[in-house]
Amino acid sequence: MVTPTMPAATIAERVGWAGSPSLFRAKVAEVRPDYAVPDPADRLVHPPGFQVQCDLWFPHEDLPLGDDQSAAPPVLVMTSINSGFIQARMLPSRTTPDLLGGMWSLILQAGAVPHRLTWDNETGIGRGKLTDPAAAFAGTLGTEIKLLKARDPESKGGVERMNRFFRTRFMPGRVFISPDDFNTQLAGWLPTANARMSRSRRGRPHELVTADRAAMRGLPPVAPEVMFRNSVRLPRDYYVRAFSNDYSVDPTMIGRLVDVTASLDTVTVHHDGVLIAEHRRRWARQLTVTDPAHVTRAADCGPSSRPNTAEGHRLLQSSSWRRWRTTTNCSASTPPSTRPSTGESLRHRSSWRSHHDRAKRWRERGRIADRVLRPRPARTPHQ
């Protein structure tokens, strides 16, 4: 048989079979193995420091995430194949920043970089081709991320066995109150797991890992980019979104570009390199996380502290007023104590016109303040 995988219906058509199709399929199934192409499998050799297999394991029971929500977040498992040493950590999600952040945190614990990190077709790492952040991560570390073909469990059997080991040896009889509690209990149990005797390796993983890591590369001089980043203009409700949750920001930054950064533990917001908000990252979803200090600051910058409408419009015509607002804490909150002289105002206006970029910023902030101070039409009762 030249083509051993040819469908039985095609073979029946080629030979002119006119009988029962099911009978013909049964006969072909009997003789097909005799014509199958040999598919040999070589023994895999894992030299020290060469390969670390990575996989995600999901607990079979949900655990509390806080805010009346529960789920089974992924657990990143990394197994050094030569020594059998296990590392693991629960992650908030299986997105690319969290997967890369989890790998980097475990590599930092190990203090060494293997020559190859093996993954199956995980969406956050890549399907057939590495994602751009994963490729940049591998390039910074000077390692290779190997994506396995589909239906190839033999290539990462070491980490698959560790997943079963977690289900049978770590999970039974344990109660978790939060993801942090899960990671704490897991970190306390892993030394026991790595002290087990491995008959195939003729040693214990925590003893064999020294020679394994000695053959690995050192940590890179520059840390790889593993965090979630986004730049947005802060809206009037002074909240930014990261991983389906909204986090409050200092309301004095309303209308300005802010940089949102999220790691595995914290969410931070910066403006021109200055930290303006920091929150502990929440594992639950669709939450609104508010810092009470931001609410108090918003009340101080509210309508009660703004000037009257006529005075506000008059001051907005002055370039010195726009220049003053760039140095204040509350945009369009209080007018300057004294109005500048005519000569000073002309000098400011001349400087403002001579610098196009600065004028563009002032006009933009002026429009924001104009929307805030625009007089509202008087409301009349409906006749």
Tell me how far CA of residue 95 lies from CA of 107, 125, 267, in angstroms.
18, 9, 16
Question: For residue 147, what are the β-bridge partners?
Answer: 119
**Residue 154 belongs to some domain of the structure:** yes
46-98 confidence digits (pLDDT tens): 889 999 999 999 998 899 998 899 999 999 999 998 999 999 999 999 999 99
pLDDT of residue 227: 94
Give the highest mean pLDDT range of 54-58, 117-121, 266-270: 266-270
Co-location of 59 and 198 in the same domain: yes
Co-location of 203 and 236 in the same domain: no
* CA–CA distance, 154 with 156 (Å, rounded to integer): 6
Co-location of 165 and 111 in the same domain: yes
CA-CA-CA-CA torsion sign (341, 344, 350, 351): negative
Co-location of 314 and 291 in the same domain: no
Q: How many domains does the chain have?
A: 4
Structure tokens at 54: 């990575």
Q: What is the mean pLDDT of residues 192-219?
A: 91
The last residue of one of the domains, among 255, 278, 299, is 299
Q: State which amino acid sits at residue 156.
A: K
Co-location of 102 and 119 in the same domain: yes
327-350 confidence digits (pLDDT tens): 444 444 444 444 444 444 444 444
Domain extent at residue 349: 307-373
Is pLDDT larger for residue 183 or for residue 2?
183
Contacts for 375-381 with beta carbons within 8 Å, 24 or more apart? 375/309, 375/313
**Residue 45 belongs to some domain of the structure:** no
**Residue 222 belongs to some domain of the structure:** no
**Residue 42 belongs to some domain of the structure:** no
- Asked which of 84-88, 253-257, 351-355 is least confident by mean pLDDT, the reply is 351-355
* CA–CA distance, 63 with 43 (Å, rounded to integer): 40
The last residue of one of the domains, among 180, 214, 248, is 214
Contact 109, 87 (CB under 8 A): yes
Domain containing residue 142: CATH number? 3.30.420.10
Co-location of 325 and 190 in the same domain: no
Contact 289, 247 (CB under 8 A): yes
pLDDT of residue 346: 44
The last residue of one of the domains, among 299, 325, 359, is 299
* CA–CA distance, 244 with 260 (Å, rounded to integer): 13
